[in-house]
Amino acid sequence: MTLRLPVLWSRPIVLLTFSTIFWGGNAVAGRFAVGHISPFLLTHLRWFILAVFLLVLFRKRLQEAKELFRAGWIGFVLGGMALGGFNMFFYIAAHHTTAINLGILQGSIPIIVIAGSFFFFKDRIRSLQALGILIGLSGVLVLASGGQLQRLVGVEFNIGDLYMLIGCGLFAGYTLGLRKAPDGDQIIGLLLFSITAQIVTVMGLAYEFNAGVLFWPSMEGWLIVFFVTVFPSFLAHLFYMRSVQLIGVGICGLFLNLVPISASFLAVTLLSEKFGVFHAVSLLLVVLGLWLAQKPAMDGSGRDHSSSS
């Protein structure tokens, strides 16, 4: 790693706290973006600017990036498309649901990853993990039904919550794909993913242009682009990767539980969104399910790629 942040660089708890705040803030930024920039343009600019920034920052390591891409180009292309697709569904979901919902549903990603590991990689799911998955999914159902479980019979879900769940599935697919990624510096991997993510975001731009819904960002829109590029996309990932180096996967995984909590807190504080009883129940179930589902893995020494946003 060539970057050094003198004071923070050796304090993993501080770094992890900032990461979870930045990822939680992405949900709030998605809501702020409504009316200031079209969602697919926001997604494209996020990854385009990050790719240019990383290319300039690591221009002396381009040969390493080329070799890493050759070793696993299929994974980088498919993973980048899944990553870009997640962000597109994330930001379009923000037009239809609350930042609180976005944050809580985002907390289901690690649970989906564990379930996917069972189906696609035949990983063993222990009883505690299975219980955590069921509890977490029940929290998602409580949230998606607005606390009125009778709505489940009529499938009257908020369309924004459905978009977000699709996005969560895409991000889980990206995370599972990382298991097949070639070994290499993770920051160079982020560079490659930021480049390939633009494949699907260009398709999104074409759709918005043809549908006549693409609009250039306002001044507020540019500030949002700056925030989601620098903080959730770059610094949060950088801080998380550094923390894994310092204290390992297990403790870092625990901090992922704070993402839906920080998103809910920021949504109430900055957007004045109402935090209802069903939000509290759903948040409790998702966080509890996530903690139980990850606990067996956190007791071990496996690799973790479950950071989001």
Is residue 78 a contact partner of residue 175, using CB atoms and an 8 Å limit? no
> pLDDT by residue (tens digit) across 27-72?
999 999 999 999 999 999 999 999 999 999 999 999 999 999 998 8
Instruction: Give domain limits for the chain.
Output: 11-106+159-275
The pLDDT value recorded for residue 147 is 62
The one-character DSSP state at 64 is H
Q: Which of 183, 164, 181, 131 is nearest to 260 (CA)?
A: 164
Q: Which residues contact 63 (CB under 8 A, 6 or more apart)?
A: none
The tens digit of pLDDT for each residue in 213-222 reads 999 999 999 9
Residue that wins the pLDDT comparison between 191 and 258? 191
For position 294, what pLDDT does the model report? 66
DSSP 182: P
Per-residue pLDDT at 212 exceeds 70: yes
Task: Check residue 1 and give its pLDDT.
Answer: 46
pLDDT value at 247 more than 50: yes
How do residues 135-192 score in pLDDT, each as one tens digit?
Answer: 877 877 777 666 666 655 554 567 898 999 999 999 888 878 877 777 777 788 889 9
